[in-house]
Amino acid sequence: MPECPPAAKENEPEYEVENEPNYAMSTIDAHVHLYPPEINRDPSGWAAAHGESLWGTLCTRRRKDGRAVQDFPSVDELLRQMDEAAVGRAVLLGWYWTQAESCVRQNRFYAECVRAHPDRLSAFASVQPAAGGASAVEELRQARDSGLIGVGELSPHAQGYDVASPDLSEVLAAAADWSWALNLHVTDPATGKFPGRVETPLADFHRLARAWPRVTFILAHWGGGLAWAKPRSEADADGLHNVYYDTAASPLLYDAGVWARAVAAVGASRILFGSDFPLNGYPKVETAPEMRRFLAEVRAAPLADEERSAILGGNARRILALG
């Protein structure tokens, strides 16, 4: 059984931060967050006024040294970061909002972003199934008509519904019918405590994958450790053949050895590079969020060229039909 990678301690990289022309603009970052201008102007005030206390706790908190855990960039600032890191496309993920109205606002904003930058941005839609499965599916339908291409990031455990709830089942049925991938937030039970942490029992994701074999699931944050829990042959036999893993927030959780360990366990074809930008993944060495250092970590990992190419864009291009 593959060994679980240890948590990152010092964020001290052993690689140079540079762009490599061989990857120029072919990279896809499959896990990026962006917020409408009214949220960016006053994140804490907006969260308090709109019933989104969990988001406020997670996204507006500060570290012990007073620095914010993340920034709130504009679309133009995101595009500049992508250019500096030679990222050709970013997949904007929604948030697991408590209020359905927050999902609607983010979805409309993402539709505007995709219309303005169709060559650089794609987006997933947020929904709150606890507000009603039928209304959630109708919101997804509107999002699809506006150019969005998937569902998530969702979190049943944070949003307040069971993974077997009929409301979530309606959302999953729509995703299956439309061949949409669905991204789920997962917390590794072995990682440390932090404000706003929500436990996400890993067995629940097994249940979902087995119950919905036609849905492509992307489990965020390496699936909370599921990516290396067992070899791929055993995982597939256990009903996880439709599960992929993104790498969001990896530098905050694991050391750089995670790449080789995860590829050895699940195979490079199941891993999607995701930065979790604008989260600062290297607070020990970076004063603000950026993408280049995380990409440098991937490019320095002991992977075959074809494995690296799949992780950095090939897999996302294939399962999200990005062309």
Q: Which strands make up the sheet holding 243-246, listed edge to edge? A: 27-32, 87-92, 121-125, 150-154, 181-184, 216-219, 243-246, 271-272
According to the model, what pLDDT value does residue 24 have? 52
Per-residue pLDDT tens over the stretch 164-208: 999 999 999 999 999 999 999 999 998 888 888 899 999 999 999
DSSP characters over 248-306: TTHHHHS-TTHHHHHHHHH-GGGEE----BTB-S-TTT-SS--SHHHHHHHHHSS--HH
**Could you please report the per-residue DSSP string of 20-41?**
-GGGTTTEEEEEE----HHHHH
- Average pLDDT (246-272) is 96
Q: What is residue 20's predicted lDDT score, i.e. its pLDDT?
A: 45
Q: Where are the domains of the chain?
A: 23-319
Residue 89 has pLDDT above 60, yes or no: yes
pLDDT of residue 148: 98
The mean pLDDT value for 221-230 works out to 94
At 2, is the pLDDT very low, low, confident or very high (cuts 50, 70, 90)? Answer: very low
Alpha carbons 81 and 291: distance in angstroms, whole number: 7
Residue-wise pLDDT tens digits, 97-129:
999 999 999 999 999 999 999 999 999 999 999
Percent of the chain with pLDDT over 70: 92
Q: What pLDDT does residue 231 have?
A: 79
* pLDDT confidence bin for 25, thresholds 50/70/90: low
Check whether 15 has a pLDDT greater than 60: no
Please state, as a whole number, how many other Cβ atoms lie within 10 Å of the Cβ of residue 84: 12
Query: Distance (Å, rounded) from C-alpha 19 to C-alpha 2?
Result: 31
Q: Bridge partners of 184?
A: 154, 219
DSSP per residue, 103-134: HHHHHHHHHHHHHH-TTTEEEEE---GGG-HH
pLDDT > 70? residue 6: no
Please give the residue that has the higher pLDDT: either 12 or 183.
183
On the question of pLDDT at 9 being above 60, the answer is no
83 has a pLDDT exceeding 80? yes
Q: Is the pLDDT of residue 23 over 50?
A: no
Please name which of 7, 29, 8 lies closest in space to residue 292, comparing C-alpha atoms: 29
CATH class of domain segment(s) 23-319:
alpha beta
- Residue 246 pLDDT greater than 60, yes or no: yes
Question: Using one digit for the tens of pLDDT, what is the confidence trace for 134-172?
Answer: 999 999 999 999 999 999 999 999 999 999 999 999 999
Q: Per-residue confidence at 232, pLDDT binned at 50, 70, 90?
A: confident
Nearest residue to 224 (alpha-carbon basis) of 274, 269, 185, 264: 185
Asked whether residue 14 carries a pLDDT value surpassing 70, the answer given is no
The pLDDT assigned to 49 comes to 98
